Each structure stands twice: as structure tokens, then as C-alpha cells.
Amino acid sequence: MSTKKWMIPALAAAFTATNANAQGIVKYTPARVTGGDSVSIYYNPENSILKGLAPVTGVIYLYRNNDWEAHDLSMRMTDSGWIARYLVPVGTTLVIPNFSANGKTDKGGVTTYASVAFDKSGRQMPMSLAAWGFLRTPVLKEQTPPARTDSAVIKPEVSLFWMNNELRDHPESRRKIFFNAMAILQKANPGKLDSILPREIKFISSLPDATEQELMDISKAYRRLMGKPALADSMDKVIMAKFPNGVTARDKEIYKIFRATQQERAELWNSFVQRFPLDSFRNVNTEAEQMWYDKNYRAVVYSEMINKNYAFLKKMIPAAPLTSQTEFHRLLVMGPYEHGEVTADFILPYSKMLVEHIEYRSLHKDGAESRFYAPSQWEQFVLGCATPAFFGHASLLHQVGKDKESLVWVEKVKGQPAAQNAAFQGLYAILLENNGRHSDAIQVVENSVALNSVTPEAIELLKKEYIKKNGSDKGFEAYFNGLKNEDKLNEQRAHIRQQMLNKVAPGFKLEQLKGGFADLSRMKGHIVVIDFWATWCGPCKAALPGMQMAVNKYAKDDKVDFFFVATQETKPDYKEQIKAFLKANNYNLNVLYDGKSANGHLDQAYSKYASTVHSSGIPAKFIIDGKGQIRWYSAGYFGSPSALADEISYIIELLKKEG
């Protein structure tokens, strides 16, 4: 690589601090950021996107030891803005602070708030200019933290300029910037890559102390930059000979396990963990790690769980990746419980172990995926991923009467996006009520009603409060509907009207759970609501509380009929399972059993309806008017019983007006 001096060193050293000071928004004291010393970082949001917002929080991104880190800044309000005192870690080459408030983040725009760092002697740190180039090039976006906006992006040619300046000031950086610089060169001047890349590969290969990572970068350059997989494979063999128990050898074994049969996988995995202790490779960030390791981990556990080997699950939980832990809770804890295969008492210890390990992980940055997160950000990221598991655990605790403990787990994640749904907020309200926090419970329900995302149980809680204040339930429905956001309702109704259609409804004559047969041809003049569902379908069952609300609303209307068609059932005793399910959940639904189609599957009616609207999947809901026309169809379930009931009711009322 060229080391042509394109820039005066003094200017290069001061470039970012000058930019930040010029804006009058960020100021470093002392002006030179030095590793091992503390620095005060002043932030005045008056001329920034955070003007008038508070409190301000801060995150500082570092380039240190040839990698990126993220740390929290403890911001304190002053008369002129905000300030943080920060001890700069030894070895830091570049710092980039970001500031946030009320959901907005100020990253400094075009110039950023970055500053290069210096050593104790006042010399600019090696890799500072290279890190500045890495940060701003789109070529390396996936390898850099989200510390700058797109407006700060520079062209590959400019990034290459910073690489050359790094080499001019610090020739010893040559080995450290190898792959990134070559990736930039490929975009900036591909014509030179064929001559420069082999030269740099030769240089790295000749180093007597070349690390495995440096040799892996050569392999990666062959594969990704030169498109020569054979050379990459040859390099991998060299690496494995030199580092037989290193990352490359481990990657090959990961792929081997991924390709193995179920019978082979267990033996391969046992050898793998002996040779490559799991805790020794937690920060590995290779393609094999990203693509196959987590899948392998889960596959090994799932194979054992076919035989209900919960002891093996318990053994595997602590070292499991985050995604595996959350998936284990979903599929191996809540799945069996919701399908009636295990009791709450039996599965709770495994649920507890999983959520406790996930919570621990939220407080301790762990693994390569955490490096771009400050501790506070990492905690929120993990809790966001963990919300379904924490909710599931709280539900199990509620089932066994441990509402005090259940509330603790709900409140850990109550502010997460995944918690803003009817099921979560409904349980939260019930737990608050059961723990003596009545006013808080009512507030949660009212907030849910405003969003039209509320469960029947929560509505009942609100109704009791209404009766307590008013002496009866007279006027409750008007009060309840008055809490809803009118704009949101109008938006929902406009969407429903756009969904309306007009297709001939296929006929059917199906056996009813209550006895006899339901014949659609005899429903002329009736509005018919059909819900295709199954006992094995989670979303189908999740939607039933909302459908029950709609059924209850029209229970006395003899011109509105609801049919819940159990379709695609596979178990021999599915009829008994349906009866048990309805009884356990106190559902009063008119269930029909779908007939056998030509292919032998129990989807005779469903297949006709799916074909009519050119769709597939359940739950699937159809509303048929009095003339036998399909007027509305919807697939899936979006999480709100009250919104679903309103949706069904609105269409029924529209069809009634049509006559």
C-alpha cells in the first residue's frame, strides 16, 4: 500500500476535535483525549436535534486493541448543558460519543463528535486514522458500530486516503489494517487489487508471529476479495496445521456437525465440546459461528428432547447462546405446556432456570454480538428478546398461584415493545389487582382500551370498577367505547372497508361438536362468520378470546351464526381434545369438524375457501352475507381480542345495513 504523504500530520491529529468544537455542541477537556486519563465531555444540545429534550443519556464508542467497544456515559445536567466524566481505557485510539433523549439520538451529523486519542507522551495513537476511515466507509458498515449517521459516510477513495495516512504515520499498522484496507481498495481502485493484494498477503504470511486471525484474514481475502476459494481452502489447511484447536478448525467442525445426520450429530457434538470448550470461544465472530453454531446447539438439544431428556436440557442451558435460550423457553417450556403435555408445576423449574440465565446475560455483556452495545443498551436488547420468555414464565407462576413472584417478572419487561399487546397487558393488570395495586391495574386496562388491545379478563376488571362507581353496568358499553382512540378506530374501519370482497361462498355440510350437521345452504338470509382453526395452531387459539367476545355480543341475534371449523387435525382423538380444550377455557363456541378431502386430509371445506381467496394458512376468518357471498376474509391474528371483536362486529353491522 502506498504511504504517500497527502496530509500534514498535525492537521490529521486534530481533525475531529476541531469539528466538534466548531459546532459548539461537544467539547473535550482536556482537548486531547489520552488513554489512561480521564476526560470531561461537555454536551450542549441547544443547537442539536436534542434541543429542549431531557434527560440526556450518552454512549461512547471506542476503537481499542484493533476492535470496537461501547460504554455508557454517566451524564449530569449543568447550567450550560450536560457533562460526563470518563476514564479513557489504555490503548484507545478513537472515541465517538453519541447522545440520546426521548427516543432521538444525536450522532453529530456529517462530522460526528469523534476525536482521535493520544498516548501519555502526546503522540497520536496508532490506528486512530485507520479507525476513522473504518467508521465512515460503507464498505465496512457491518463491521462497525452504529456510531455515525449516513450523512457521515465517505467514498472508498477517501477511506483509502485515511489508510495511507495511517501507514505514513504508523507503518507498524500495516498488519492490523490488512483486510479492511484491501476491502476498501477493492471498491476504491479495483484495478490495483490484483497487484497490491498478493503483495500484502505475502507480507502477512512472512510474519514469524502471525496470529490465527491474521492468517484467517488472508483466507478471507482469497475467498471474498479475489474469488479464489481453492486458495482459501489451502490457506485454511495451513492455519489448521499451525492452530489445530483454533477458530478455523472449530469452524470446520461446526459445519461438519451442521451437515451431519441426527444420529451422527450427538457423537460429533460430544467430541466438539471436548476439543473446543464452549466458554473459550464466546467472542468468536466468524461466518460459521453466525450461520450454524446456534442451529447446531439447538439441534443437539431438540434431538434429546424427543425422548423428554430434561436433564440434558438443564445441562445445556447455561452455555447456550441467547437465541437458543429464548427458543428453548418458547418451544421446550411453553410449547409442551400449552399443548397439555406437561403441567405448570413440572415445567416451572426449567422455565425459572432459563429466565434467570437470560436475565443474568442482560446484566453481563457476553459474546461477539454484544460488542456494539453499551451495557445499558445490551440490557435493553436482551430484555427485548426475552420479553416472551419472561411473560411465559410469569404466566406459569400465575397458574400456580404465585402472583407476587409473577408480577416481578412482568415488571422487568413491561416497557419493552413486545410487551405492548393485549395478552401481556391483560396479565399485568390481573397481577397488579391480585397484588393490591388496584389503581395501577385500572390504569393499565384503560391504557389498553385506548389502544383497543385488551383481553376479556381485563375488560371484566374494568367493568367491576365501573359498577362499583355507578351502582350498575348501565352505560358501561358507551363508557368502554368512549375510552378507545377514535382516530385508531377510524383507521381500522377504513382498512376493513378496503378488505371487503364479493365471491361466491363454497357450500359445506359438516358435523357439529354439539351434534347434527351444519349446512351452509340452509343459511340464506343469515350473516355467517366462519373461523378455520386447529388445536395445534397457536395463533388460532390465541384469537379465540376475541372471537368469543364477538359470539357473546350476537348471542341473541338469530340472523348471525358463528362456525368454528376445526381443520387439518391429525391426531386420532382430536375430537376429544377439542372438547377438553373448550372446557378448560370456558369457551362457548359452535365447533364443526372439517371433512376429509380427496387427498385424505381433514381440510375439505378449508381447501375450498382457501382456493377461493387464493390464500393459505390458519387462522382464516370469512364472513358471508345473507346472499351466500364471501364479503370479508382475514388470515392470521394480530394480538388484540378487543380489536378482533370490533372488527367482526363492524363488518356484521355493515352487512346488516346492506340488507
How does pLDDT run across 595-628, given as a tens digit for each residue? 999 899 999 999 999 999 998 899 999 999 999 9
Q: What is the DSSP secondary structure assignment for residue 570, as one 8-state letter?
A: -
Specify the pTM: 0.88
* pLDDT given for residue 367 in this prediction: 87
Average pLDDT over residues 359-383: 95
Average pLDDT over residues 468-473: 92
Strand stretches in 44-110, DSSP E:
57-64, 67-73, 76-78, 81-87, 92-101, 104-106
Q: What is the DSSP secondary structure assignment for residue 124, as one 8-state letter?
A: B
| pLDDT of 16 higher than 50 | no
Average pLDDT over residues 198-213: 97
Q: Which amino acid is at 21?
A: N
Q: How confident is the model at residue 6 (pLDDT cuts 50, 70, 90)?
A: very low
The DSSP bridge partners found for residue 633 are: 622
What proportions of the chain, in percent to the nearest 5, are helix, strand and coil? Answer: 55, 15, 30
C-alpha cell at 307: 425422548
* pLDDT given for residue 2 in this prediction: 44
Average pLDDT over residues 78-83: 95
Q: Class assignment of domain 9-171?
A: mainly beta
Average pLDDT over residues 113-124: 95
**CA–CA distance, 573 with 550 (Å, rounded to integer):** 28
Average pLDDT over residues 374-379: 98
* pLDDT given for residue 488 in this prediction: 84
**CA–CA distance, 352 with 360 (Å, rounded to integer):** 12
Q: How many CA atoms lie within 13 A of 302 on its CB side?
A: 15
Q: How confident is the model at residue 489 (pLDDT cuts 50, 70, 90)?
A: confident
Range list for CATH 2.60.40.10 in the chain: 9-171
Q: How confident is the model at residue 5 (pLDDT cuts 50, 70, 90)?
A: very low
At 134-152, the pLDDT tens digits run: 999 999 999 999 999 999 9
Strand bridging mode 560-566 / 527-533: parallel
Average pLDDT over residues 639-655: 93
* pLDDT given for residue 594 in this prediction: 96
> Per the omega criterion (within 30 degrees of 0), is the bond before 30 cis?
yes
| pLDDT of 8 higher than 90 | no
Pick 500-658's CATH classification: 3.40.30.10, 3.20.20.220, 3.90.79.10, 3.40.50.360.
Answer: 3.40.30.10
Residue 9, C-beta contacts closer than 8 angstroms, at least 6 positions apart: 124, 168, 169
- DSSP alpha helix (H) spans, 473-597: 476-482, 486-499, 538-553, 574-584
Q: How many CB atoms lie within 10 A of CB 30?
A: 11
At 409-458, the pLDDT tens digits run: 999 999 999 999 999 999 999 999 999 999 999 999 999 999 999 999 99
Strand order in the sheet with 517-519: 503-504, 629-635, 620-624, 527-533, 560-566, 591-593, 509-512, 517-519
Is residue 463 within a helix (H) or strand (E), and if so which, with residue range? helix 456-470
The DSSP bridge partners found for residue 622 are: 530, 633
CA distances from 85 to 51, 80, 201, 489, 493 (A): 22, 16, 43, 49, 53
Computed over every residue of the chain, the mean pLDDT equals: 93
| pLDDT of 17 higher than 90 | no
**CA–CA distance, 95 with 112 (Å, rounded to integer):** 10
* pLDDT given for residue 366 in this prediction: 87
**CA–CA distance, 626 with 526 (Å, rounded to integer):** 5
Strand bridging mode 76-78 / 115-118: unpaired
Placement of cell 351466500 in the chain: 628
Q: What are the phi and psi torsion angles at 543 (to 5°)?
A: -80, -15
Between 279 and 196, whose confidence is greater? Answer: 196
* pLDDT given for residue 656 in this prediction: 94
| pLDDT of 24 higher than 90 | no
| pLDDT of 12 higher than 80 | no
* pLDDT given for residue 20 in this prediction: 47
| pLDDT of 481 higher than 60 | yes
- DSSP alpha helix (H) spans, 471-536: 476-482, 486-499
* pLDDT given for residue 18 in this prediction: 43
* pLDDT given for residue 589 in this prediction: 97
* pLDDT given for residue 11 in this prediction: 34
The DSSP bridge partners found for residue 209 are: none
At 491-547, the pLDDT tens digits run: 889 988 998 999 999 999 999 999 999 999 999 999 999 999 999 998 999 999 999
* pLDDT given for residue 638 in this prediction: 84
Average pLDDT over residues 326-344: 95
CA end-to-end distance (rounded Å), the chain:
80
* pLDDT given for residue 23 in this prediction: 61
Range list for CATH 3.40.30.10 in the chain: 500-658
Average pLDDT over residues 384-402: 98
